[in-house]
Homo-oligomer: A and B are copies of this chain.
Amino acid sequence: MTDAVFPPSHPFDFDAVRDADDDKLREECGVFGVNGVVDAANFVALGLHALQHRGQEAGGIVSHHPEFGFNSARRMGYVRDNFTSQDVMDTLPGALSIGHVRYSTTGSKGNTAIRDVQPFFGEFAMGGAAIAHNGNITNADALRRELIERGSIFQSSSDSECIIHLMARSLQKGIPERMEDALRRVEGAFSVVAMTRTKLIGVRDPLGVRPLVLGRIGDGWALSSETCALDIIGAEFVREIEPGEMVVITEDGKIESRRPFRQATSRFCIFEHVYFSRPDSILGGRSVYETREAIGRELAKESPVDADLVCPVPDSGTPAAIGFSLESGIPYAMGIIRNQYMGRTFIEPTEHIRNMGVRLKLNVNRALIRDKRVILVDDSVVRGTTSRKIKEMILDAGAKEVHFRIASPPTAWPCFYGVDTPQREKLLAATMSEEEMRQHLSVDSLKFISLDGLYRAVGEAKGRDAGCPQYCDACFSGEYPVEPADMIAQGFQLKTAAE
């Protein structure tokens, strides 16, 4: 639990013991902060619980109290298991607090050491500061090398730690100003929630790749990755922090908006609409659920098929499947049932358990499926391993036909902006055409929504603006709005003109 493994780390095969159908892109982090409320850490715990889908491996909370100073608790595991007991919460006093949930970072995939768990804290000459970061810094390797050269000592393998070291070395006097300094050196995607002894700070990178919203609670303010976490604490959703904006909120509730970065065109992550964000969150003024239903409708228009049932691949395919059913008139049904008592990992499971794979989590509703032509709606296809197993289960149960409809375009490129994606070679769509994928999965038909269709569903009536895309869709298009410098240095090949 408390081991610190220094890079290059010991090559344990942690993947082998992961949930067998872990075949999704994974958002890597959620951030939350609040000020102006009694026992703020309690609110942060609730907010993080509502953001747990953005990171399940670990969580941390920092709070500040005028008398007791900064305090922190960082733990492996779920928020609900770590941050609900009086014991722990008593150690986090004060009216100002921030927190972080985390899937895994660039530094130590699948082997999260406690030292990699955020928020990170730094003691500066003028007082301490803590930061929580959602996103990914694309020039972190270069920054790290430079900082080490100058005598900084890194304690984690996280890219986010660069920010706190850059702040420590800034010549500015105030902490918010040091943060501006630091973030101007940083490239990539970042939605940051930070705190000093008195201030709550929120920043989004110039492109606004990751979400960050502002809420009001009593006389205090909240910052959150998504609106669903405002709901749980009873905060009112005020507005999104704008791309390139920094808000500095003082103890007495004053809020100041700054613009530390050069102006840029917004490129919000379109996959937040497809999968990452919770369906009850609001993005662009509409519930994510409705957008996903619209994606399903769009998909039904683009790729209709005659069938008996529309079934979601639970749970992420559900809203799109409902949309597909509404548009197509084909009845919606729960053909696959999810076991609610599955967690994500097993500790040293038996061979037998390991071989069960997705069957531990999903079961086909055999009596319902038998002799039916079934449309399966899923949010995405990553490696294709789960899709294949699900298809087999459906056929074993006696389905006559299986048609896959996917609520996103083919995922052909890795994300370098805070999402855990396999290497490009392992993405099914990177090496196969749609028809090849259909054959690979051995299904009667397989259709992805088009990129334009997806843009329409998220509200861009004219579809994608190829010259200046309204979203970051690099995972589909290979067009990276920020050059992934570290990855290129490691040999990653950008899309060529020919592709």
A residues apposed to B, CB below 8 Å:
1-11, 39, 42-43, 45-46, 49-50, 52-53, 56, 62, 68-76, 78-81, 84-87, 89, 91, 93, 114-115, 121-125, 128, 145, 148-155, 164-165, 168-170, 228, 231-232, 278-280, 282, 285-287, 289-290, 293, 315, 318-319, 322, 326, 331-334, 337, 339-343, 346-350, 352-353, 356, 359-360, 363-368
Contacts and interface: CB of A to CB of B under 8 A. Distances in A.
A350 B86 contact: yes
B360 A85 contact: no
Given A154-B123, A164-B153, A85 B339 contact: no
A349 B152 contact: no
Contacts of A79: 341
A11 B84 contact: no
B346 A84 contact: yes
A85 B2 contact: no
A364 to B, nearest CB: 7
A71 B232 contact: no
Contacts of A366: 231, 280, 282, 287
Contacts of A56: 341
Contact of A42 (B290, B342, B353): B353
A151 B123 contact: no
A359 B11 contact: no
A148 B129 CA distance: 13
Contact of A71 (B9, B340, B350): B9
Contacts of A74: 2-4
Nearest to A351: B86
Nearest to A367: B287
B80 A346 contact: yes
A39 B86 CA distance: 27
Nearest to A4: B72
A277 B347 CA distance: 29
A279 B69 contact: no
Contacts of A322: 332-334
B350 A228 contact: no
Given A152-B153, A366-B282, A367-B282, A348 B53 contact: no
Contacts of A228: 337, 363
A214 B72 CA distance: 40
Contacts of A76: 2
B347 A85 contact: yes
Contacts of A340: 52-53, 315
A344 to B, nearest CB: 10
A6 B341 contact: no
Contacts of A155: 153, 155
A7 B128 CA distance: 10
A46 B93 CA distance: 37
A71 B11 CA distance: 11
Contacts of A326: 331
A269 B370 CA distance: 26
A61 to B, nearest CB: 10
A340 B150 CA distance: 45
Given A85-B350, A86-B350, A150-B169, 8 more contacts: A1-B2, A5-B72, A123-B148, A151-B170, A153-B168, A285-B367, A322-B332, A322-B334
A128 to B, nearest CB: 6
A123 B350 CA distance: 30
A86 to B, nearest CB: 5
Contacts of A165: 151, 153
B49 A339 contact: yes
Contacts of A346: 80, 84-85
A228 B397 CA distance: 12
Contact of A289 (B3, B80, B279, B368): B368
A121 to B, nearest CB: 6
A125 B363 CA distance: 43
Given A73-B3, A349-B86, A125 B148 contact: yes
